[in-house]
Amino acid sequence: MGRALQFDFKGRYTAVLAYVAVFIALSALVRLALLWKQWGDIDAGVFGLLQVFAVGVLYDLITANYFALPFVLYLLLIPEVVFRHRLQRALLELGYVAAFALLLFIGMAEWLFWDEFGSRFNFVAVDYLIYTQEVIGNIRESYPLTALLSGIAVAAATLHVFIRRRLLAGLAHPTRFAARLRHAAGFIGAAVLATALIDSSLAHVSENRYENELASNGPYSFFAAFRNNELDYNTFYRTEPEAVVQQHLERLVGDGGDPAGDGLSAHHLIHGHGAERRLNVMLVVVESLSAEFLGAYGDERGLTPHLDAIAADSLHFTRLYATGTRTVRGLEAVTLSLPPTPGSSIVKRPNNGGLFSAGFLFRERGYDTRFLYGGYGYFDNMNAFFAGNGYEVVDRTDMDETEAPFATIWGVADEYLFNRALAEADRSHAAGRPFFQHLLTTSNHRPYTYPDGRIDIPSGTGREGAVKYTDWALGNFIAQARQHPWFDDTIFVIVADHCASSAGRAELDVARYRIPLLVYAPRHIRPQQVDTLASQIDVMPTVLGLLDFSYDSKFFGQDLLAAGSGGRAFIGNYQKLGYLHGDRLTVLSPQQAVSAYTVDAGSGRLRVTAPDAGELADTVALYQGASALYHRGLQAWGVN
């Protein structure tokens, strides 16, 4: 090798090489810990695991090099006379301890994030950084933060003690500027090459999603997700000519194109079967309520006695799927009836007001339309989104401590949100106006705490207690509502925002997206089990069908009680866009990639298959159309 590629192990860059070595060692330990945690879901044999770890070490090296660059530049530029000063050495050692503490903190955060989401840092972690108050508050309420940080500090100092003698011995050798420049050029050149030649796709070593996550590196995944916060559909995904897309949309979405005839449109006419019924609607979107928690969906733990009783007297939809893995995706789906477009949710995007929404349809019919949330609605831009799309907003800032004496960092306990909803309903009824309320709960979320004395599971002991408390609060809500004069003319709709966990072996694990949907109105709706395959975008078109509303629609969802409707669902995350039709799942990914699976009806397990041309054409049309119509603004998709 030439001198330009040689790295001695004495001199200033001993510090960098030691840091890189510690980074790789800690990353390997994190990978081993996560492998142990998820061992039951790993399919790979010995050679498969060797591939996972080989690719993982490459990502670790790349990420370690990125992390080392500040050290590299500092050591390059600082003059020798300053470098030899005792104070500078003390600061360098302190910096080392802080750097080791950062690495240990990242490792701890990866473990906790994986425990919650079953993946490396991703788009969720990027989103959470925007809302530090809620996230840090949630961590404080959920974990012994002081003990954890103290342990990290002690571990970092101990780690430094073990390598200090060798480190100082290496630093004692002088390094000329020319040598430092060669070394720095090597680190910088490696970073440039890695950025140009390596991306997240290298971690796709298997059809098992957990193995792919293990092959990656947490900080690398975080910055990759940050870079891909917004994904333009036409740039990254499979497309078709707009004329072809429009033909598919007219067949899949509705019976009519744009009256103006000037390009893509989801416009279609909805005809009620009789006179409109001006019933009230209370839509309750429940935090993280997977179908697997409910006895009505087969669970035997007895966590949801009230919801199970409601299900027996409701329209009970057994095959409904969430469109995404975040609350804002669920809100987007039920409010706009739109498939999940890539990148961040529409709820969080700029210029997202005045869209064709459920709130708009109810408001133009004289309804009081309200979004009620027990947390602070600035989180995830919810207040701005709902206020801009036909809703009056009521959030935690409108509730004092006497009205809501128990709260976590995420919001007031569900029972107090429901009490406020009852009061708002009374106000509308007294004014002689029907109402549409969209409620979002928070209690079924870490730290899983709630008021004492409600259920037989102590507060703060885990998810099962939070589920049972949420069930109690919903049952209490319905029981109280029965005492109000508007109850007999009100439809209650209970649906989840997403599952408690969507992580699974497959890139889109269908079974992890299944959520409950109950539509309850004892005087107006006959109990019935509906086994039609559907997703959240179908919720409001179905409710509007029950009300016999006639309207010009731009919704992609369908009335699941109408003949010929249903039979498909949209599921996705911020990159993967899935279309489930019958037992076939077609998935669109960046770089115009396509994958396809058949879904086992019993277990939900996926089997890789070749994409079907017809299914692929429909999938592209629906997602390309939804993305295009949103980005074209009000002319194509808004209220006018």
pLDDT at 429: 98
Alpha carbons 626 and 247: distance in angstroms, whole number:
14
pLDDT at 52: 92
pLDDT tens for residues 416-450?
999 999 999 999 999 999 999 999 999 999 899 99
Confidence band of 128 (pLDDT split at 50, 70, 90): low
Q: Under CATH, to which class is 277-298+342-503 assigned?
A: alpha beta
Indicate where the chain has its CATH 3.30.1120.80 domain(s): 232-274+560-640
pLDDT tens for residues 146-156?
888 899 999 98
Confidence band of 7 (pLDDT split at 50, 70, 90): very low
What CATH number belongs to 232-274+560-640?
3.30.1120.80
The 3-state DSSP class for residue 373 equals strand
Name the nearest CA neighbour of 535 among 576, 477, 592, 579: 579
For 21, residues 6+ apart whose C-beta sits below 8 A from its C-beta are: none
Indicate where the chain has its CATH 3.40.720.10 domain(s): 277-298+342-503
**Could you give the angle at which helices 14-37 and 46-77 cross, rounded to 10 degrees?**
150
- Residue ranges with strand state E in 428-489: 435-440
pLDDT at 502: 63
CA–CA distance from 200 to each of 193, 203, 489, 575 (Å)? 15, 6, 53, 12
- Taking residues 589-613, what's their average pLDDT? 87
Confidence band of 8 (pLDDT split at 50, 70, 90): very low
Contact 339, 626 (CB under 8 A): yes
The partner residues of 412 in beta bridges, in order of sequence, read 407
Query: What single-letter amino acid sits at 27?
Result: S
Least confident of 159-168, 585-594, 610-619: 159-168
Of all residues in the chain, the percent with pLDDT exceeding 70 is 91
Task: Check whether 261 has a pLDDT greater than 60.
Answer: no
Alpha carbons 376 and 381: distance in angstroms, whole number:
10
Task: Check whether 640 has a pLDDT greater than 50.
Answer: no
Confidence band of 127 (pLDDT split at 50, 70, 90): low
For 178, residues 6+ apart whose C-beta sits below 8 A from its C-beta are: none
Of all residues in the chain, the percent with pLDDT exceeding 90 is 53
pLDDT at 120: 86
- Taking residues 404-415, what's their average pLDDT? 92
Task: Check whether 556 has a pLDDT greater than 60.
Answer: yes
Contact 417, 263 (CB under 8 A): no
pLDDT at 236: 77
Contact 464, 252 (CB under 8 A): no
The 3-state DSSP class for residue 310 equals helix
Contact 343, 574 (CB under 8 A): yes
Confidence band of 371 (pLDDT split at 50, 70, 90): very high
pLDDT tens for residues 206-251?
888 888 889 998 888 888 777 655 567 877 789 999 889 999 998 9
pLDDT at 162: 82
Task: Check whether 10 has a pLDDT greater than 70.
Answer: no
First to last CA, the chain: 69
pLDDT tens for residues 277-293?
999 999 999 999 999 99
Task: Check whether 545 has a pLDDT greater than 70.
Answer: yes
pLDDT at 375: 92
Task: Check whether 414 has a pLDDT greater than 60.
Answer: yes
pLDDT tens for residues 296-340?
999 999 999 999 999 999 999 999 999 998 899 999 999 999 999
- Residue ranges with strand state E in 395-524: 435-440, 490-496, 514-520
pLDDT at 3: 41
Q: Residues in the chain, how many?
A: 640
Confidence band of 627 (pLDDT split at 50, 70, 90): confident
Average pLDDT of every residue of the chain: 87
The 3-state DSSP class for residue 456 equals coil
Task: Check whether 495 has a pLDDT greater than 70.
Answer: yes
pLDDT at 505: 59
Element (H, E) at 569: strand 568-572
- Quick one: three-class SS letters along 275-287? CCCCCEEEEEEEC
